[in-house]
Each structure stands twice: as structure tokens, then as C-alpha cells.
Structure 1
Amino acid sequence: MLFSRCSRLAMASTNRTLTSYLTRASRPFSSTSPASYEHILTEIPKPGVGLITLNRPKALNALSSPLFEELNDALSKYDGDKEIGAIVITGSEKAFAAGADIKEMAPLTFSSAYSNNFIAPWSHLANSIRTPVIAAVSGYALGGGCELALMCDIIYCTETATFGQPEIKLGVIPGAGGSQRLTRAIGKSKAMELILTGKNFSGKEAGEWGVAARVIEGGKEELLAQTLKTAETIASYSRVAVVAAKEVVNKSQELSLREGVEYERRLFHGLFGSKDQKIGMTAFAEKKKPEWSHE
């Protein structure tokens, strides 16, 4: 009974996934005319790659509601651009994002924070963006900065990057998913220690613990070069397959193994209805490079 129900739900999700992607891909967006922002910079440094740089240098890229309004806008525009297949978020060499803006938070009351659902929009990246997002972390990624990195699909960092959830030192707790995503990444005991003590951990440790996919030797320039290289590789594949691959990996964090495998299989089956499946397999058989239609 459960197996059958999961199958039906997975198939329905497959149809919604493919239909939603094709609708999204057809929406017009000019990547050659980037919006003007105050707190972030946007550019397209590689074919198919959108780059967002947090740009509050005097505040060490401290995260605020105005910054997230701009970040969410840029993410949505890249996500809706059929020419963009991967997104990179980075900061400066000194700070990816040194935390949330304390000046904005300090005067809040329970009533104002709760009534206005404070920082809920910060989860737009994790909840709504289907294009793969890579964080390139150099310097400080503390509090909200660590949480922003954890929302991304992949993290690359320098050895000397500094991660942490120091909210306990301010009389509060992580509020943008840090207690949940960090625990899933490194396990309960280690996450509990870090969150209860406010202790930081290095980029080297992030790589050893599985928080970061790669630790890049050298400075910010090499970090960004390697991150953009990976983003360009991802962007070179079928957009339909990439979106499906991201979705099934994310589902592994929510479903049981049996449900997850069934969900994966239904998306796999669904991709046989795409043009790119035919293009990819035909090109492989003919020993040619596939020319993706992204349909």
C-alpha cells in the first residue's frame, strides 16, 4: 500500500518537475542587462554561469534584509534565465559573510520578529532555486554567513576560511537553518558542540568533516577560479537532467531509503520523455559531443 502510494506521488512529482522546468526555461530574461544593486554585484564570467558577489565590505558582508532582497532577486533572475545552468555566490577574500547585521536585529521584539516572520525570506535560496548553487567561501562565514553557505548545493572554501555558529554568545540560536543543516552535514554530537560553545572551525576542518566538497589551496583568486570551473562544467550539461539530479539528491535528506530510491527511479523514468535524453544517448552511441536542447 505504502509502496504504491509513493509510486503515484513520485510520478506526479515527476510530471510537475518537468512541466515546471520547461515553463521556467521559456520565460524571457536578458542576462546581458544585469540589474543594478547596492549590496551585491552580478556578472556572467563563464558561459552559462551566473556569479553573485556579496558587496558590503565595510560590514564584512554582514547579512541584512535589504541585502537578501537583492540576493533573492538576483537568484530568481538567474534561475529563470534559460542560458544560466549554474550559480556561484561568493564574498571578499576577508569575508564571505561575517554574520547577520546585529544593528538590524538588536531592537527587535518577539512580537515584531514573529509577526513579520523575520529572516524567513532568507530561505528563498534553499526553498525555491532549482539551478545548482555553489558557495565559494574565503575568510569569515559566521552565523548567517555559515547558514547561507550551507543553503548552497556545494561549498568550496580556502583552508583558512572560518566557519561557525556563534549565536549562543549573543543570547540567541541559529535562525536560518544552521542547527538543521550543520547537524545533517557533520552529525549531532559535533554540531551540538559547535552550536552550544559558539566555537569556530576552519576551512580545512570543513573539508575533513564533509561540510565543504573541496578545500582549495591558495587565496580567493584560485578559489573562485576552481569554483567557476566546476560551475561551468555543470552548466555544460542538459538543464533538465541537472535540475532532476539536484532534486533527487535533496530528496535523500527528507525521505527514507526505500522512498528515496523509488522517487529517484520515477524521475529517471520521466527523463526518457525529454529531448535531451535522446540527444545524449544518440551522441554517445555515435561518439559525438551532445548539443543539448534543454528540453
Structure 2
Amino acid sequence: MKKLLIILLFTMSSAVTAQVAETTFENIEVTNQHNVLLLSINVPPRNTVSKAVLAEINTALNLAESDENIGAVVITGTNKVFSAGAGGESLKGVDKGEMTHAAIAHKVYNRIESFPKPVIAAISGISAGGGNELAMSCDIRIAGESAQFRQHELQAGLIPGFGGMQRLPRLVGQSRAMEIMLTGRYVGAVEALSIGLVTTVVPDSEVVLKAVSLAQQLNDNLNKKALAQFKKRMALSHSETFKEALINDQLTFDQLATSPDIHAAIATFIEKQKMESKAALD
């Protein structure tokens, strides 16, 4: 398969960006959209989340995390498909000591969930099986009007083993998640919005633009140190009791509150609020 070079939409001088420019991918396209790294799965016709795709997503995350100029990540598909699933690769045996397909997916999806920068899924067309589990690991999901979501593993003799059994109930509730997984039916974009599976529905032609625009907005407005701690805490709290989560949230807050650079950030925020209030009154 022809290798795809990362396309840089504008020139930056950092050494890390030079490293990004030299990286090659075979299964995803990676573009720098003004400090937002856009990852587009490009394995037609189904854009399956194979081991190779997962490995390249992880490599792109390495680049995004190590480059301070990159403020957010957007993951999307190509050719009107986000990802139709994991394909049949999970059915193949692995040599002793190798990670299974599901184990690799868990490693990458868990990383996305706790990634120190916002990760947004821009979904057009089919988002099914392991591909939909990828979308659910992202912080925010923006859907195009054509988007259809499905967890059909039970019909195929498997279970949603890439994290869907845990993440789907958290997003839409236990009862609704059970119905979606048991029937394996398609959930359209409008219904997905109504049950909380996605946050926004836009025309298909605008889904990536909307996701990138929101990512840029988050990059401009969020404190990076606080964001990293916030995402870490949100991910870890799933395995904690309510009492433990409250205590650990409080300890993280106290740690941030005593940091000199956070003091400076708060002062800047207060001054900005004053200026915005004054402008609104003028």
C-alpha cells in the first residue's frame, strides 16, 4: 500500500514538528489543522480498526503529546465511513507473548480516554463494533447526519470486547445500552443525539470542520496543566468508589491550587473576565 506522508498545512519551526513531517503512515492520514492533529482512518472500504491502524493511531498520539504546539486531536474516517468495526483479525491466533487484538485496542482506547489533550471523534457514515468503541473512547463525538451507530458483536458470536460494554452504558444508560447491544440495530444520528451517544449533529460536509473548530476553541480556552489532570482523574474515577473519587478529585484540586503557574493562570482569567464584562457594558 502506498505510504501517506503527513501534510503540514503551515510551517512551524519546532524540532518535534520536523519529526512529524518525516513520519509515514500506511493506514491513516494525518494533517496538522492549525495546531489540531487530524487523524483520518483510510483503509477502504470499511476502515477497520486493525492492529496496524491502532498502532498508527498510537504513533500519532505520541507525536501529538510530545509537541506542545498541538493542542487537540480529531479522529475521523474517510469515504463516508468512520469505522465499520474490527474486521476478522481478532479471530486469528497470536504467538506466545504477543498482545491480542482486543488487548491492543484497550491499550489505545484507554490512552485516548486519559490523553492529556482533548480528543474529538468526527463521525460520518457507519460507526460500528470496534470502530464505535473507538468513537466512545473520545471525549466528544460530533456526528454527521448520515452517521449510524451499531454494536453487533453478539449477532456475530462475540461480545463488545474493545470497551463498549463499559463505555456505552456510561454514555446512554444501562437499559438503553443493553437494548442496543442485544438487538445489534443501527442507531441513527438524531437518536444518538437524543440518548447522549453524540453531542452534536451537523451536515456531513461540516462534521470535520465542526470538530476541528471546536478542538481549536478548546486549545485556546483551556489551561493545559489543569486539562491533563482533569482527563486523568475522569479516566481513573471509573474504577474508584464514589467516596474514593471525591477524595482524589479534592487532592488533585488542592495540588493545582497551590501551584504558582496556576495562580498566574487564574489571575489572567480573572482579568480577561473583567475586560469581557466591561466590553459588554460599554
TM over 0.5: yes
Out of 182, 201, 216, the position equivalent to 1:232 is 216
Q: TM-score, normalised by structure 2?
A: 0.82
Amino acid at match of 1:175: G
Equivalent pair of 2:116/2:227 in contact (CA under 8 Å): no
SS at match of 1:207: helix
In the superposition, relative to structure 1, how do residues 234 and 125 fare at CA in structure 2: closer, same or farther (>3 Å)?
A: farther
Out of 10, 15, 23, the position equivalent to 1:35 is 23
Out of 6, 23, 32, the position equivalent to 1:44 is 32
1:82 aligns with 2:68: yes
- Count of residues in Structure 1 that have an aligned counterpart in Structure 2: 256
Amino acid at match of 1:121: I
The Cα shift of 1:34 comes to 5.0
The Cα shift of 1:136 comes to 0.6
- Percent identity over the alignment is 33
Cα distance in 1 for residues equivalent to 2:22 and 2:120: 20
Equivalent pair of 2:109/2:134 in contact (CA under 8 Å): no
Q: How does 1:39-188 map to 2 (within 5 A)?
A: 39-46=27-34, 48-56=35-43, 58-102=44-88, 104-106=89-91, 108-109=92-93, 112=94, 116-119=98-101, 120-128=103-111, 129-188=115-174
The Cα shift of 1:152 comes to 1.0
Equivalent pair of 2:140/2:199 in contact (CA under 8 Å): yes
Q: For structure 1, list consecutive stretches of 5 or more residues without a partner in the other structure.
A: 1-26, 290-295
1:195-221 deviation per Cα after TM superposition (whole angstroms, max 9, x unaligned):
2221121121111111112222x11x3
The Cα shift of 1:137 comes to 0.6
Cα distance in 2 for residues equivalent to 1:105 and 1:248: 31
The Cα shift of 1:134 comes to 0.8
Equivalent pair of 1:92/1:139 in contact (CA under 8 Å): no
Q: TM-score, normalised by structure 1?
A: 0.78
Divergent runs of 4+, >4 A: none
Give the RMSD, CA atoms, in angstroms.
Answer: 2.5
Amino acid at match of 1:38: E
Cα distance in 2 for residues equivalent to 1:159 and 1:204: 8
Amino acid at match of 2:105: W
Cα distance in 1 for residues equivalent to 2:159 and 2:238: 23
Q: Point out which structure has higher relative CO (alpha carbons under 8 A, 6+ apart).
A: 1
Equivalent pair of 1:160/1:204 in contact (CA under 8 Å): no
1:149-194 deviation per Cα after TM superposition (whole angstroms, max 9, x unaligned):
0111111112320111111222211121111111222222222222
Q: For structure 2, list consecutive stretches of 5 or more residues without a partner in the other structure.
A: 1-13, 275-282
Amino acid at match of 2:159: I
1:232-280 deviation per Cα after TM superposition (whole angstroms, max 9, x unaligned):
1221232101112222333443333332222222111111343442222
Equivalent pair of 1:158/1:204 in contact (CA under 8 Å): no
